[in-house]
């Protein structure tokens, strides 16, 4: 005769869960205490996060306890009805399932917490961009009065100009850099020439130096060419695409996975090298092309350092990052802070949409180039 199981372990699980949740409550109270002192900064935030973590974790453990409680009662019912086989198979699955459920719960709770923390600044900036009761930074998150005034205000500033600048730079970079990178990768993947290996090693070592090292000399050169300050846009395009050939690694890795015999077959069929690239290799490389375009678009879109010193305080040559930053200066922040937030949202929009549309290819591109290459 099989014995019934006791309800001790599920009850202990639920008690532990309750204890953790109680700790979470304590942390919440503590956080409230600090919050009153210092608003939503420093220790207050830490305690709120801790409270959320503990509360969610405690709840998860309680859920696990409840499910195992249900299982034990089902097991006991089966034993009572004499269905031993079903009972023992349930017994076996119980251990595995419970373990899996427990570890899954913890993983999900952790991921939820991380993503919440990660999202806080974004939520803040979006909410602040709709705040119309004042224009200076405040100590609370949710606006008291909502409206689109900040977005309208953007049009009365230099913002459209900056946005256009950034857009031109990003599009030019996306096009030119993609062409250069793909051609470079194709050559390094398919052609065998003297100095090929030394060239690749040289570029690898060169890539280890931070680009900032060239800042001063680049500024001198661009100044002599008349491409600084108000004319910063072509200068910036030049700076961004100048070394783009060195970013060939991922697409070369991808091209290397396309069998060389395809090239050879196409060449036997009468194709020139360029036709091989455009008719055979590129149609097979959609993920890597999209990946290259996205990265080439993103880098100048968010760049600050180069754009800052090449435009050098001239608002006509600024990109969005540099331009928006000027609104955070001591004398402007009180009048422009909420407009700054609205600008930030507008800047993030195209990139977010692009990523949502193309993320599938982006992931394929990264993994395809890295794993197979």
Partner 1 sequence: MASVKLTNVKKIYDNNVVAVHDFNLDIKDQEFVVFVGPSGCGKSTTLRMIAGLEDISDGTVEIDGEVVNDLQPKDRNIAMVFQNYALYPHMSVYDNIAFSLRLQKMPEDLIFNKVTNVAEILGITDYLMRKPRALSGGQRQRVAIGRAMVRDSKVFLMDEPLSNLDAKLRNQMRAEIILLRQKLNTTFIYVTHDQTEAMTLGDRIVIMKDGYIMQVGSPAEVFEKPENLFVAEFIGAPKMNIVPAELVNANGAYQVKLFGAAIPVDGDKGAELARARIPGRKVLLGVRPEHIVLSKEASASSIPVTLEVNEMMGSELHLHAFTDDGTRIIFRVPTIDLTASERAGLVNGAKLNVTFEGKVMHFFDPETEKNLLYSHEY
List of residues contacting partner 1 (CB under 8 A): 259, 261-262, 264-272, 275, 279-280, 283-284
Q: How far is the CB of 249 from partner 1 (least distance, A)?
A: 24
- Among residues 89 and 272, whose Cβ is nearest to partner 1? 272
Q: What is the DSSP string of 95-125?
A: HHHHHHHHHHHHHHHHHHHHHHHHHHHHHHH
- Among residues 95 and 198, whose Cβ is nearest to partner 1? 198
Q: Both ends of the chain: CA-CA distance in Å?
A: 60
Phi, psi of 109 (to 5 degrees): -60, -45
Q: How far is the CB of 181 from partner 1 (least distance, A)?
A: 21
- Among residues 38 and 272, whose Cβ is nearest to partner 1? 272
**By three-state DSSP, how is residue 130 classified?**
coil
Q: How far is the CB of 268 from partner 1 (least distance, A)?
A: 5
Q: How far is the CB of 260 from partner 1 (least distance, A)?
A: 9
Nearest to 177 by CA among 247, 227, 226, 235: 247
Q: Beta-strand (E) ranges in the chain?
A: none
Name the packing angle between helices 286-302 and 333-367 (round to 10°). Answer: 160
Nearest to 10 by CA among 93, 68, 94, 61: 68
Distance CA 10, CA 154 (A): 59
Chain centroid offset of residue 371 CA: 20
Distance CA 370, CA 373 (A): 5
Nearest to 241 by CA among 318, 300, 294, 184: 300
Is the distance from CB of 113 to CB of 52 less than 8 angstroms? Answer: yes
Q: How far is the CB of 350 from partner 1 (least distance, A)?
A: 30
- Among residues 107 and 262, whose Cβ is nearest to partner 1? 262
Is the distance from CB of 344 to CB of 129 less than 8 angstroms? Answer: yes
Name the packing angle between helices 159-190 and 249-256 (round to 10°). Answer: 40
- Among residues 171 and 282, whose Cβ is nearest to partner 1? 282
Q: How far is the CB of 267 from partner 1 (least distance, A)?
A: 5
Phi, psi of 146 (to 5 degrees): -105, 150
Judge residue 213's burial from the number of C-beta atoms within 10 Å of its C-beta, 0-12 exposed, 13-18 middle, 19 or more buried: exposed
The dihedral through the CA atoms of 348, 237, 234, 186 has a sign that is negative
Q: How far is the CB of 205 from partner 1 (least distance, A)?
A: 24
- Among residues 225 and 262, whose Cβ is nearest to partner 1? 262
- Among residues 78 and 266, whose Cβ is nearest to partner 1? 266
- Among residues 196 and 220, whose Cβ is nearest to partner 1? 196
Q: How far is the CB of 274 from partner 1 (least distance, A)?
A: 12
- Among residues 195 and 205, whose Cβ is nearest to partner 1? 195
Residue 5 DSSP one-character state? P
Q: How far is the CB of 262 from partner 1 (least distance, A)?
A: 5
């Amino acid at each position: 005769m099989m014995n019934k199981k006791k309800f001790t372990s599920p009850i202990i699980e639920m008690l532990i869960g309750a204890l953790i949740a109680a700790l979470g409550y304590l942390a919440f109270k503590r956080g409230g205490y600090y919050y009153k002192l210092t608003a939503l900064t420093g220790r207050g935030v830490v305690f709120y996060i801790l409270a959320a973590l503990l509360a969610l974790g405690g709840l998860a453990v309680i859920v696990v306890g409840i499910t195992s409680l249900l299982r034990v009662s089902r097991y006991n019912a089966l034993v009572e009805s004499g269905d031993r086989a079903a009972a023992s198979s349930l017994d076996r699955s119980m251990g595995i399932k419970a373990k899996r459920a427990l570890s899954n719960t913890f993983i999900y709770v952790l991921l939820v917490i991380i993503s919440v923390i990660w999202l806080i600044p974004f939520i803040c900036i979006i909410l602040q961009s709709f705040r119309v009761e004042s224009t200076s930074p405040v100590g609370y998150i949710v606006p008291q009065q909502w409206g689109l005034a900040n977005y309208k205000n953007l049009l009365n500033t230099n913002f459209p100009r900056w946005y256009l600048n950034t857009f031109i730079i990003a599009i030019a970079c996306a096009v030119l850099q993609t062409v250069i990178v793909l051609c470079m990768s194709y050559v390094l993947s398919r052609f065998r020439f003297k100095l090929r290996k030394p060239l690749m090693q040289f570029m690898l070592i060169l890539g280890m130096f931070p680009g900032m090292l060239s800042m001063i000399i680049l500024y001198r050169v661009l100044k002599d060419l008349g491409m600084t300050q108000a004319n910063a846009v072509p200068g910036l395009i030049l700076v961004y695409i100048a070394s783009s050939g060195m970013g060939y690694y991922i697409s070369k890795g991808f091209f290397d996975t396309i069998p060389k015999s395809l090239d050879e077959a196409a060449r036997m069929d009468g194709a020139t090298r360029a036709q091989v690239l455009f008719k055979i290799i590129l149609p097979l490389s959609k993920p890597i092309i999209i990946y290259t375009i996205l990265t080439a678009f993103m880098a100048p879109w968010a760049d600050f350092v180069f754009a800052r010193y090449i435009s050098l305080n001239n608002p006509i040559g600024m990109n969005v990052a540099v331009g928006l930053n000027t609104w955070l200066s001591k004398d402007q922040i009180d009048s422009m802070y909420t407009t700054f937030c609205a600008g930030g949202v507008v800047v993030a929009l195209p990139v977010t949409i692009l990523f949502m549309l193309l993320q599938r290819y982006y992931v394929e591109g990264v993994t395809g180039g890295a794993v197979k290459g």
